[in-house]
């Protein structure tokens, strides 16, 4: 897990099954790279790609921070959140290398069709190069054995197509996508902006494993041709003749309101209530080299609180209760308690924790004291103070952010008890509970 305070990337992640371990290079999927330094180098390599021009220099470190958080979410198996972060990073900085991380995340989520469409997008990206082309083609071929490669031809040209409830996509003549085997719903519509109306139709398509299927969906226009055709709008962008669908052929994804640096609408992850899952942007600084330095709150801050203990006499003669306050500062914690058994006492001390996780070994020391009655030669009783020193070692077990239990083994030596029945040297184990703010 990520537990450090300032991190550029994750420490370790399981390798994606589709890529062999020996190909773990800086341009490999981030979840496959071992070591914080190697991951930071991979992020730098991705966002330093000169083939992906950006106008704002702050985009590159922002993309690094988004991907760092995405990998952190992968380690926690929060795949939807990791995907949301990778998609946001790709929208900001459309490097084909980020597509590899999106694809491997989709495979981990059990979405082979979406992963295959992402690998296809990687292969079609002119900036992907030939370094991993053969490897990705092999992955895609294996995925296609489980999927249906569907091509939908549209009539009339320029119609909008929707598959399985996904958003409508403007298509010149055909749309190609990979879908899971089974029945799918294809919708077509043609919007008449002059009359402010539209025609629509739909059909079902059944696909099988490994099938390459081509269908045509024809829209019968009910509206007559307008008497005077409108003049062509020079600002209107004609849809591409052939569209390769990418994360827009189901209700799991949406198109963002903003467009990426490549001019294409960004992709978003949709929750079951159709709400957009927002990416997490961690706190980060931009280093002298222009790269992001991400700061994570480890969540292991030790807060002050109230401490209650039971002190057990090592010889089994009884116990004393203690109640007080604990003032914490990072690994060190000071304690002040009132002790009570058949006599009243107090304790002032501290402890140093060796670790700050859920299991916190510690060493402790302090000064116990108690007040007792002592009779003089005449039999008159007077109050006396005995004080001592304590050394202990123990462990604190964190139950949650506000409660922990502790136990230790301690040795105490007291002064000022000559002529009394008290022992100067005492073995005193303690058990206790700490309630933190």
* CATH code for the domain in which residue 350 is found: 2.40.160.20
* Same-domain check for residues 117 and 262: yes
The Cα–Cα gap between 396 and 112 comes to: 45
State yes or no: pLDDT of 87 exceeds 90.
Answer: yes
Q: How confident is the model at residue 20 (pLDDT cuts 50, 70, 90)?
A: very low
| Domain carrying residue 286 | 1-131+254-296
Judge whether 139 lies within some domain.
no
CA atoms of 7 and 184, how far apart (whole Å) = 44
Average pLDDT over residues 308-319: 89
d(CA 345, CA 229): 98
More confident residue, 297 or 374: 374
Q: How far is it, in rounded angstroms, from Cα 77 to Cα 108?
A: 9
pLDDT of residue 8: 36
- Domain count of the chain? 3
Are 381 and 346 within one domain? yes
Give kind and range of the element (H or E) at residue 153: strand 148-155
Residue 19 pLDDT exceeds 50? no
Closest CA to 67 of 50, 41, 250: 41
How far from 323 is each of 99, 331, 360, 401, 433, CA to CA, in Å? 58, 21, 21, 20, 10
- Return the pLDDT at 414: 93
In this predicted structure, the answer to whether residue 5 has a pLDDT above a threshold of 70 is no
Geometric angle at alpha carbon 235, from 234 and 241, rounded to 5°: 85
Per-residue model confidence (pLDDT) at position 309: 94
Residues 172 and 39 in one domain: no
| pLDDT level of residue 183 (50, 70, 90 thresholds) | very high
Q: Tokens 């303690």 sit at which residue?
A: 430
What number of other Cβ atoms are within 10 A of residue 5's Cβ?
Answer: 9
Query: Cα–Cα distances in Å, from 92 out to 6, 55, 117, 261, 422?
Result: 23, 11, 20, 6, 74
Summarised one tens digit per residue, pLDDT across range 239-257 is 788 899 999 888 899 887 7
- Section 139-153 average pLDDT: 96
30 shares its domain with 113: yes
pLDDT for 44 equals: 83
Task: Determine, yes or no, domain membership for 142.
Answer: no
Burial 281-304 (b: 16+ CB within 10 A, else e): ebebebeeeebbbbebeeeeebee
Judge contact between 391 and 360, C-beta under 8 A: no
Band (28; pLDDT cuts 50, 70, 90) = low
Cis peptide before 156 (omega within 30 of 0): yes
Does residue 208 carry a pLDDT above 90? yes
Percent of the chain predicted with pLDDT > 90: 49
- pLDDT grade, residue 379 (50/70/90)? confident
Q: What is the mean pLDDT of the chain?
A: 84
CA-to-CA distance for 271 and 135, rounded, in angstroms? 32
* Structural domain contains residue 57: yes
Bridge partner list, 371:
344, 385
CA-to-CA dists, residue 211 to 143, 247, 249, angstroms: 12, 20, 18
In a domain, 358, yes or no: yes
- DSSP conformation class of 15: P
Radius of gyration of the chain (CA): 34
Neighbours of 183 (CB within 10 A): 10
Confidence of residue 378 (pLDDT cuts 50, 70, 90): confident
What residues have CB less than 8 Å from 134, skipping those under 6 apart?
Answer: none
Query: Residue 29 has what pLDDT?
Result: 61
Region 177-183: what's the mean pLDDT?
A: 96
Query: What pLDDT, on a 0 to 100 scale, did the predictor assign at position 136?
Result: 94
The pTM of the full predicted model, rounded to 2 decimals, is 0.63
User: What is the average pLDDT across 394-421?
Assistant: 89
112-124 and 96-108 helices, crossing angle to 10°? 170
Q: Enumerate the H helices of 11-58 as residue ranges.
A: 36-47
Same domain, yes or no, for 236 and 263?
no
- Whole-number pLDDT of residue 109: 94
- pLDDT of 330 > 60? The answer is yes
Residue that is written with structure tokens 């190609």 in the block: 176
Running DSSP on this structure, what letter comes out for residue 230?
P
In a domain, 141, yes or no: no
Residues 206 and 262 in one domain: no
Give the count of beta carbons closer than 10 Å to the beta carbon of residue 348.
Answer: 14
Over residues 264-288, the pLDDT tens digits come to 788 999 998 889 999 999 888 888 8
Q: Are residues 110 and 3 in the same domain?
A: yes
Residue 87, beta-bridge partner list: none
Are both 223 and 285 inside the same structural domain? no
* 124 in any annotated domain: yes
């Amino acid at each position: 897990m990520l537990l450090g305070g300032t991190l550029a990337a994750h420490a370790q992640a399981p390798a994606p099954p589709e890529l062999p371990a020996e190909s773990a290079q800086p341009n490999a999927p981030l979840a496959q790279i071992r070591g914080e330094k190697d991951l930071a180098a991979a992020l730098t390599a991705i966002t330093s790609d000169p083939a992906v021009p950006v106008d704002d220099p702050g985009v590159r470190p922002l993309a690094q921070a988004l991907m760092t958080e995405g990998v952190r979410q992968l380690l926690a198996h929060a795949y939807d959140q990791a995907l949301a972060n990778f998609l946001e990073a790709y929208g900001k900085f459309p490097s084909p290398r980020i597509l590899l991380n999106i694809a491997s995340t989709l495979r981990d989520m059990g979405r082979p069709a979406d992963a295959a469409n992402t690998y296809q997008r990687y292969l079609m990206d002119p900036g992907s190069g030939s370094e991993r082309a053969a490897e990705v083609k092999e992955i895609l071929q294996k995925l296609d054995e489980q999927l249906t490669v569907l091509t939908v031809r549209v009539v009339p040209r320029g119609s909008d197509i929707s598959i399985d409830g996904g958003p409508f996509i403007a298509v010149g003549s055909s749309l190609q996508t990979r879908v899971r085997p089974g029945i799918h719903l294809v919708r077509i519509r043609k919007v008449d902006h002059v009359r402010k109306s539209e025609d629509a139709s739909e059909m079902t398509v059944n696909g099988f494993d490994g099938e390459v299927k081509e269908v045509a969906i024809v829209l019968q226009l009910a509206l007559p041709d307008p008497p005077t055709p409108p003049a062509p709008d020079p600002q209107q962008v004609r849809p591409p003749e052939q569209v390769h669908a990418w994360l827009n052929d189901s209700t799991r994804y949406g198109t963002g309101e903003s467009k990426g640096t490549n001019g294409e609408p960004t992709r978003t992850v949709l929750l079951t209530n159709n709400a957009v899952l927002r990416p997490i942007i961690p706190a980060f600084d931009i280093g002298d080299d222009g790269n992001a330095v991400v700061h994570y709150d480890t969540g292991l801050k030790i807060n002050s609180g109230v401490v209650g203990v039971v002190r057990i006499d090592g010889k089994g003669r009884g116990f004393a209760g203690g109640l007080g306050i604990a003032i914490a500062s990072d690994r060190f914690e000071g304690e002040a308690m009132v002790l009570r058994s058949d006599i009243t006492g107090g304790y002032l001390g501290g402890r140093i924790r060796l670790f700050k996780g859920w299991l916190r070994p510690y060493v402790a020391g302090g000064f116990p004291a108690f007040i007792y009655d002592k009779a003089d030669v005449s039999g008159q009783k007077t109050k006396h103070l005995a004080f001592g020193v304590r050394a202990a070692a123990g462990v604190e077990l964190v139950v949650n952010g506000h409660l922990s239990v502790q136990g230790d083994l301690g040795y105490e030596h007291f002064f000022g008890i000559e002529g009394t029945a008290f022992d100067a040297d005492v073995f005193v184990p303690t058990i206790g509970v700490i309630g933190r703010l």
